[in-house]
Amino acid sequence: MQEALFYNKLSDGKVQCELCPWNCILSPTQVGNCKVRLNDNGNLVTEVYNKVATLGSDPIEKKPLYHFYPGKNILSIGEVGCNLHCKFCQNHRISQCKASQFSGFHNITSEQIVNEALKTWNNIGIAYTYNEPFTFYEFLLETAELAKSKRLKNIVVSNGYINEEPLKKLLPFIDAFNIDLKAFSDEFYQKQTKGKLQPILESLKLIANSGVHLEITNLVIPGLNDDTNEFEKMSKWIAAVLGEQTPLHLSRYYPQYKMDISPTPIETLNSLHSIAKQHLQHVFLGNVSDNEKSSTYCTNCNALLIQRNHFKTELENLTSDGTCKKCGITSGIIL
C-alpha cells in the first residue's frame, strides 16, 4: 500500500480525502466511497498502487477517441473502484468492487507498463480506463509522468468526478481525455449515479481551457436522459463553453447491472444526433452499426476525412498534418 495524495489528517485518527467531490471523512480502517482508499492507522493509503486488474491493447477508437491518432492502438490498463455508482455500469464487476475483496490483481510497476507500451505494435501510449482512473490517482500520475518522459501519449477515460487541484496537477501529463457526460441534469446524476453534475462540468471546463484534447461520451438511456430539451441544452453548453469542435459520442445503451430498461431505439439516437449537429461540428453514434454517423467529415466542404466501420479506420482526404485535401482547411484531427 502507498500513502495517498490529497488528504488531511483530522482528530481521533480520522482523515479527509480531498481527491474527489465526495471529500470522504474516514475513521481508522474505513474505506472511501470509491472502495479503494483506506484509513490505515490515521494515514490515507491507496490499495491499488503497483497493480492492475486489466491490461491489453485496444484500437484508440474503442476508448472512444476519434480525432486523436485515428487507426493507432493504445495499451489500456484498469483497476477496481469508482467514485460514482451508476445503475447501468458496463464494468460493474471491477468498478463496484472493494480492492480488498478483488482476487484478480496482477502486480506491476509503472516501469513495466511503460516498457510494455514501448514494445507494443502500432501503439502510441497508455490509456487509463475500464474502471474510474482517478481512483488510482497515484499510480496513474506516476505512470503518466514516466510515459511522457519516454514520449508516449497518455489518455484518460473518466467520469470527470475529481476536485480541481488534483486535476490541475495531472493535466500536464495527459494528452487526451474522453469524459462521460451522462446527462445534463443534477437529478439524473443524484438518482442514477449518486454523484452531482456541477463538478463534472467544472472538470470539463478545466480540461478544455488547458488545451488538452477532449472528447465527450453520452450514453443515451430511454426515459432517463433522452429528453430533447435537456439534450439540446447540453449540446449548446458544450458548443458555447468547450467549443463546437468538441467531438460528442452518442452511445447506445443496453441493459446492464441494475438497469433493465430496453435498449435505446435507433430513432432516438438519430433524432438526438440531428439536434446535436445543429450546435456541434462532430457528432458520432456508438454501439450501433452506422458507418455514416460514425465517420468524420470536413466541416467546410463535407469531404469524407475518416471512414469508420466498427473499429476499422481508413484515413481518406487528410494530409499528414490533418488538413483536408479537398479544400485545404485544418481539421483539428491529431495524427
Binding of ligand SF4 at residue 83 (CB under 6 A)?
Answer: yes
Binding of ligand SF4 at residue 270 (CB under 6 A)?
Answer: no
- Binding-site size, ligand SF4 (CB under 6 A): 12
Q: Are 210 and 156 in contact (CB under 8 A)?
A: no
Binding of ligand SF4 at residue 217 (CB under 6 A)?
Answer: no
Give me the least distance between CB of 37 and ligand SF4, in Å please: 4
Separation of alpha carbons 144 and 150, rounded Å? 10
Binding of ligand SF4 at residue 17 (CB under 6 A)?
Answer: yes
Burial 55-88 (b: 16+ CB within 10 A, else e): beebbbbbbbbbbbbbbbbbbbbbbbbbbbbbbb
Binding of ligand SF4 at residue 33 (CB under 6 A)?
Answer: yes
Looking at beta carbons only, is 20 or 269 nearer to ligand SF4? 20
Tell me which H or E stretch contains 58. Answer: strand 54-59
Identified binder of ligand SF4 from the candidate list 13, 14, 23, 290, rule CB under 6 A: 23
Binding of ligand SF4 at residue 141 (CB under 6 A)?
Answer: no
Binding of ligand SF4 at residue 200 (CB under 6 A)?
Answer: no
Q: What are phi and psi of 275, to 5 degrees?
A: -65, -50
Give me the least distance between CB of 201 and ligand SF4, in Å please: 18
Burial of 29 (0-12, 13-18, 19+ CB in 10 A): exposed
**Closest residue to ligand SF4, Cβ-based?**
32
Q: Are 79 and 46 in contact (CB under 8 A)?
A: no
DSSP secondary structure letter of residue 186: H
Separation of alpha carbons 235 and 292, rounded Å? 20
Which residue stretch of 22-30, 49-57, 112-120, 141-149 sits at the interface with ligand SF4 (rule: CB under 6 A)? 22-30
Looking at beta carbons only, is 135 or 317 nearer to ligand SF4? 135
- Residue 108: CB atoms within 10 Å: 16
Looking at beta carbons only, is 15 or 155 nearer to ligand SF4? 15
Identified binder of ligand SF4 from the candidate list 22, 88, 102, 136, rule CB under 6 A: 22
Binding of ligand SF4 at residue 20 (CB under 6 A)?
Answer: yes
3-state SS assignment for residue 102: coil
- Chain contacts with ligand SF4 (rule: CB under 6 A): 17, 19-20, 22-24, 32-34, 37, 83, 135
